[in-house]
Amino acid sequence: MYKAPRGTSDILPGEQRYWRYVEQKAAVLCQLYGYQRLDTPVFEDVGLFTRSIGESTDIVTKEMYIFNDRSGNTLALRPEGTAPVCRAYLEHGLDNLPQPVKLYYLAAIFRYERPQAGRYRQHYQFGFEAIGEADPALDAEVIQMAWQFFQSLGITGLALYLNSIGCKACRPLYLEGLKRHYSGHLAGLCPDCRLRFERNPLRLLDCKKPACYGMAEAAPRSLDYLCPQCEEHFEAVQAYLNASKLPFELNHRLVRGLDYYTRTVFEVQPSQGGAQSALGGGGRYDDLIEELGGRPTPAIGFAAGMERVVLSLKQQKVPVSNLPCPRVFVAYVGREAKLEAVKIAAALRRDGVSAIMATGDRSLKAQLRQANSLNADYTAIIGEEEVKRQAVTLRNMITGEQQSVSLAQLQELLLVRE
Ligand code: HAM
């Protein structure tokens, strides 16, 4: 027997209501803030991701699903959503539109990670990107939109963490400071951090291992190294956030796992967080579009992990309504009645009433059991008598009440929902 590959899962019919709920909230939010949907391919040229996410990140070095197609192109399953949006922005000349261009996506993401609760090899993200504007008011708006997403879902107990990691001009000085802090203490660090020290010192701050915690806590802060422009930008972001009464907390260890970020970075996590706990994260990436061959174009965005959102909805027992159930199950007893039942079911559906037709000539009892398990509001029962009278026996599946209803009345009665 085959099983779904490790780290992937099936979203069964019983789960779908959570997913529809989140997707609908996402679509409403994007409408509120003026974001338009963009769908990009599941795979892209691998170079797009190595270039954007950074050669030394975990995603690029260990986690991408890379393959060659039959023409020898090297492709990767999308390990994140921002780079493809930027690629599409450039490819379709969206840089010629009035800026910023605001786009969102709901997309499957693939990362070869060690699976555990809330961490999968295929997961889905809801993300949005505002491209072509450097105004700190836009940073605040994007952060507010991310926060409103979780609020509109009814998820509580969340914290919003904020940091600024500076720009091309000031970051090198900060990295030097960071390395000075760590040098001489490398022996006490975990093997990953010893590598990070060489390849990607910013990520030292993000290590969750106990051995590295103290060093990261005591490390110099990027905020103390910002150039005057970055400092002014970050001050303004905070002023706008305060003006909209957003409860953010500064977190000097927040650095994110992708190299394209500049200036503002932020994450939404449960206030009692665990290691794999971020429900979503984002930030500015002012150099990325230029890196991909475009004009210098500032941008900012955010993405939330759908599985983690659904997990929180369940853990917090947020009421999520059921998906619509069939209005009527059409049951029959006998050959003639079956013919009539086929006609009735077809007529009901033509009129927009959802109708499930029994099949397989089972006993009436078995048919009613099926109607029950499908959660149908009614069962229309057709036997010899009903065929003669051009009527059905209509059974209310909740109260068990039955009444005889003429075929002429049936549609009308079922179209009206009490
Ligand atoms: P990210 O932080 O790598 O950012 O992913 C965004 C969110 O996706 C995470 O906060 C988490 O909820 C979820 N997530 C990530 N990896 C997994 C996984 N293996 N299993 C389940 N959920 C996961 C980005 O990808 C950026 N592109 C976000 C962004 C958009 N930045 C600017 N614009």
Residues 253 and 336 in one domain: no
Give distance in angstroms: CA of 275 to centre of ligand 1.
14
> Confidence band (pLDDT; 50, 70, 90) for 294?
very high
Residue 169 CB: number of other CB atoms within 10 A?
12
Give distance in angstroms: CA of 330 to centre of ligand 1.
46
Residues 345 and 268 in one domain: no
CA atoms within 13 A of residue 338's CA, in its CB half-sphere: 11
Residue 274 has pLDDT above 70, yes or no: no
CATH code, domain carrying 376: 3.40.50.800
Give distance in angstroms: CA of 130 to centre of ligand 1.
17
Atom of ligand 1 nearest to the CA of 118: 21
Residue 128 CB: number of other CB atoms within 10 A?
28
Number of domains in the chain: 2
Residues 155 and 299 in one domain: yes
**Residue at 262 is within a domain:** yes
**Residue at 176 is within a domain:** no
Residue 275 has pLDDT above 70, yes or no: no
Atom 30, ligand 1: residue with shortest CA distance = 302
CATH code, domain carrying 135: 3.30.930.10
**Residue at 199 is within a domain:** no
Residues 51 and 99 in one domain: yes
pLDDT in the model for residue 249: 97
> Confidence band (pLDDT; 50, 70, 90) for 418?
low
pLDDT in the model for residue 272: 82
Output 104 or 192, whichever has higher pLDDT.
Answer: 104
Residues 370 and 236 in one domain: no
Share of the chain above pLDDT 90, in %: 92
Stretch 158-162: mean pLDDT: 97
Give distance in angstroms: CA of 267 to centre of ligand 1.
10
Stretch 207-229: mean pLDDT: 93
Q: Look up residue 119 and give its DSSP letter.
A: B
Distance CA 379, CA 321 (A): 22
Residues 265 and 367 in one domain: no
Residues 305 and 362 in one domain: no
**Residue at 180 is within a domain:** no
**Residue at 76 is within a domain:** yes
pLDDT in the model for residue 209: 86
Give distance in angstroms: CA of 215 to centre of ligand 1.
26
Residues 117 and 246 in one domain: yes
Atom 2, ligand 1: residue with shortest CA distance = 281
What would the two tokens of residue 64 be?
């991408």
**Residue at 188 is within a domain:** no
- The last residue of a domain, from among 294, 315, 336: 315
Give distance in angstroms: CA of 409 to centre of ligand 1.
53
| Residue-wise pLDDT tens digits, 38-97 | 999 999 999 999 999 999 899 999 999 999 999 999 999 999 999 999 999 999 999 999
**Residue at 216 is within a domain:** no
Phi, psi (deg, nearest 5) at residue 248: -90, 160
Stretch 393-416: mean pLDDT: 94
Give distance in angstroms: CA of 124 to centre of ligand 1.
9
Nearest C-alpha neighbor of 308 from the set 260, 274, 261, 266 = 274
Residue 341: which domain range?
A: 328-417
The predicted model scores a pTM of: 0.95
At residue 94, what is the residue type? Answer: L
To test ligand 1's pocket by mutation, which of 82, 122, 125 has the most ligand atoms within 8 angstroms of CB?
Answer: 125
Atom 11, ligand 1: residue with shortest CA distance = 305
**Residue at 394 is within a domain:** yes
Give distance in angstroms: CA of 146 to centre of ligand 1.
13
Q: Is the dihedral of CA 231, 233, 234, 240 positive or negative?
A: positive
Residues 334 and 308 in one domain: no
Residues 382 and 274 in one domain: no
Distance CA 122, CA 79 (A): 9
> Confidence band (pLDDT; 50, 70, 90) for 184?
confident
Residue 260 has pLDDT above 80, yes or no: yes
Nearest C-alpha neighbor of 203 from the set 57, 41, 398 = 57
Atom of ligand 1 nearest to the CA of 113: 19
| Residue-wise pLDDT tens digits, 162-176 | 999 999 999 999 999
Residues 159 and 303 in one domain: yes
- The last residue of a domain, from among 282, 315, 348: 315
> Confidence band (pLDDT; 50, 70, 90) for 208?
confident
Kindly give, in sequence order, each residue whose CB lies less than 8 Å from that of residue 184, ignoring residues fewer than 6 positions away: none
What would the two tokens of residue 272 be?
């009692």
pLDDT in the model for residue 261: 98
At residue 267, what is the residue type? Answer: E
Atom of ligand 1 nearest to the CA of 308: 12
Atom 33, ligand 1: residue with shortest CA distance = 301
Residue 177 has pLDDT above 70, yes or no: yes
Stretch 16-33: mean pLDDT: 98
pLDDT in the model for residue 62: 94
pLDDT in the model for residue 416: 79
> Confidence band (pLDDT; 50, 70, 90) for 252?
very high
Q: What is the four-CA torsion angle of 143, 148, 153, 158, rounded to 10 degrees?
A: 60
Nearest C-alpha neighbor of 270 from the set 161, 357, 389, 137 = 161
Q: Which residues have any ligand 1 atom within 6 Å of their CB?
A: 80-82, 111, 113, 118-120, 123, 125, 127, 129, 257-258, 278-283, 301-305, 307-308
| Residue-wise pLDDT tens digits, 299-314 | 999 999 999 999 999 9
Residues 236 and 262 in one domain: yes
